[in-house]
Every structure is written in structure tokens, then in C-alpha cells.
Amino acid sequence: MKLLLRSGVLAAACAMALTTLPAPAADTQLTAEVASSVRPPFEQFVKIYESKHKGSTIAAKYLGGGVIQADVEADSPIDIVVVGKNQTDKLTAHINAPVAVLTNREVLLVRRGNPAKITGLKDLAKPGVKVGMANGAGSAVGTLARAVLKKGADDPALGADFPVKVRQNSPVYFDKLQSEEEVMTGLEKGEADVAIGFVSSVDPSKFQAIPIPPQYNVDSVYYIFIPKSAKNATAAQDMIALMSSKQGQTILHSHRYLPPPK
């Protein structure tokens, strides 16, 4: 009888122990906000990361820099951010140390065949030419495009009123756009004859590139960082290591990005 009693107590204790053990840790789900101009390579990085971290996933949003800046300033629970220097420099109080991973450069983009016969920057000011650029308030890529126009205004060959003429040639369609991706969609749809965009957006199946001379051009450095509000900061470190590694830099170079500054 005592043996049976002890066995019953032991069985009950084991059952209780099983019910009170902590549940297995849930798979890690990271969130990322990434400048839309970096979407193609970042999608590759997500696949690599997830293949090396079985059970972990990254949910990425591809947005304009101004939108990303506002989200980080609001201390939203974002684990990984990739955005340009203009935004990164304004977010130092909200982020951990940023790491430069790439440099992008401005270029003129036209649809294949160049139906408007754009030959260079001067053509953007011609009457009737439709110029695509992100004109939404706070747009990071729009700020860079306007910096190109401002440099053009310093050249007597283009004239001090060059930026005004070009902005007047930008259709209403672009008035509220924030991201590079949105501008490229407008160009592809025929809403513009030419767009001021990034060299990384040169998709030979859709667009042709017309270089912008160095004296007018603007380089933009992009950083990856972990906001202080991140919920999965330790897991996010591996994405920083991946993008800044030799493998990561090779991937970025294959997408026409330039190396980050040393």
C-alpha cells in the first residue's frame, strides 16, 4: 500500500512539474524599416539571415527616409533600420552606433529607348519635359535630388533659375511621393520623361542611365543601426555583421552601390 501511495505521489509531482515548466522560447520575429532604394539587396540579406537562423523571420517595410526617421523618433519597436546619412545624423539620441554599409550616387533615369531624347541635366529645364522626383515633405531622396539642382544653379551654363524651372516641370503626380521606389514606379508608368534617382535603380530591362557630372552630383552614405527601442537587439546584430561583411559588400556591389567611406 505504501509503495502504491508513493508511486501515486511521484506521478502527481511529475505531472505538476511538466505543467509548470516554462514553454519553449518563441521563434524570433524581427522588424526592419529600410529605405526603399535598398530594397533589392536587403531582400537577399533577409533570405540569408533566415537561412542561418532557423525559425527566425524578418518583417521588413520599405519606406521613404522621412517616414523612417519619424518612426525611430517615436521610439517604435523596430529592430533593424537602414537609412541615409541625413536621417541617421538626426537620430543619434534614439539609436545605437550606426555602421556605414554603402554609398549611392545620383543619376538621370529614362525609360528604355529614351522617348523624350534626354541627353543631360540641362534638358530637365526645357519646357514640356516631365521630371520625376520625390516632392513629398521630408522626403530624403527628394532632398538629394534638390541638392543636385542647387549645384546646377551655381553653373552659369544652367543658370540661377535652373532649380525653379526643373521643379515647375515636375508633374502633380510626384507632389506627395516620399520614396525612390514610388518615383521609379511613376517613371515606368510614363508619368515622367526623366527622373532624378539613384544609380542603384538602373534596371536595364526598364531604364537607361544618363550620368550626372561630378560637379553637380551628390553621394549619399547609408547606415544600418539598431534603435534603442529594439526588442531583439542581440539578434539584430547578426544583420549588421552580414551587411558589413565581405559577402555583404559583394552583394551590395552587385546592385551597383559604391563602397561606404573608410
Give, rounded to a whole angstrom, the gap between the first and last alpha carbons of the chain. Answer: 79
Each residue of 6-25: pLDDT tens digit?
444 444 444 444 334 343 34
**pTM of the predicted protein model:** 0.80
Each residue of 187-209: pLDDT tens digit?
999 999 999 999 999 999 999 99
Cα angle: 38, vertex 145, 121; to 5 degrees: 120
The domains of the chain, with CATH numbers, are 29-103+221-254 (3.40.190.10), 105-219 (3.40.190.10)
* pLDDT score of 39: 95
Enter the DSSP assignment of 174: G
User: CB–CB of 20/234 below 8 Å?
Assistant: no
* pLDDT score of 67: 93
* pLDDT score of 24: 36
* pLDDT score of 27: 81
State the Cα–Cα distance between residues 234 and 256, nearest whole angstrom.
30
Strands, E assignment, 8-118: 29-35, 57-63, 80-84, 99-111
